[in-house]
Chains A and B, each alone.
Chain A
Amino acid sequence: DAGITQSPRHKVTETGTPVTLRCHQTENHRYMYWYRQDPGHGLRLIHYSYGVKDTDKGEVSDGYSVSRSKTEDFLLTLESATSSQTSVYFCAISESEGLGGETQYFGPGTRLLVL
């Protein structure tokens, strides 16, 4: 299995609080992604990174920001959590041009509940 960890694995928070999720990889892959998975919607891309300090928006980026200061870490921040952001969040990595179809490897996921 690819060396990808996510922390925390579970989190309960209140509406309006900031939340940061961390994705850490030991594979030295260039590309990293954050997805959310909700019933009826499948996996949807929030943000992605194609290198240190290089990030771009995905399909559902509103309310989220990301940062990548090191190759191995990709942080997802909910500036002010809302109940609609209750979801399962997956980080993924790919070695080369993941957006061109390269295999993506997923972390174990973070279950976030916003009350």
Chain B
Amino acid sequence: RKEVEQDPGPFNVPEGATVAFNCTYSNSASQSFFWYRQDCRKEPKLLMSVYSSGNEDGRFTAQLNRASQYISLLIRDSKLSDSATYLCVVNMKNQGGKLIFGQGTELSVKP
């Protein structure tokens, strides 16, 4: 079982749609959680950190459920520019605190 698992997609949605990405992690000792965005043939960039209480940044909402070891990212009112791969990232405290990346979920927003 992979330490961080994501649905690879692709998710094909029309502009304006709401789309949700899910991520599960296997290590209950994980302490920090992030969503990164990676455009085609580009480097990953931090989209947002994920806090226990949930957090929102404009059209993006991240949620964390520690009991279920589950992280989510919700994108409302999708834009063409949201097309990218979204990486779920977890900090594994009992592995020296290393960041573990999921494979990523590909999103394609169509006109």
A residues apposed to B, CB below 8 Å: 40-45, 58-59, 90, 97-101, 103-109
Contacts and interface: CB of A to CB of B under 8 A. Distances in A.
Contacts of B49: 103
A42 B45 contact: no
A42 B43 contact: no
B interface, by DSSP: helix, strand, loop or mixed? Answer: strand
B32 interface: yes
Contacts, number: 50
Given A100-B32, A101-B31, 12 more contacts: A42-B102, A97-B97, A99-B96, A99-B98, A99-B99, A101-B34, A103-B34, A104-B46, A105-B46, A106-B44, A109-B42, A109-B43
Contacts of A40: 103
A59 B98 contact: yes
Nearest to A35: B101
Nearest to A98: B99
A101 B100 CA distance: 10
Counting from the closest, the 4 A-B pairs by CB-CB distance are: A101-B32, A99-B97, A106-B43, A43-B101
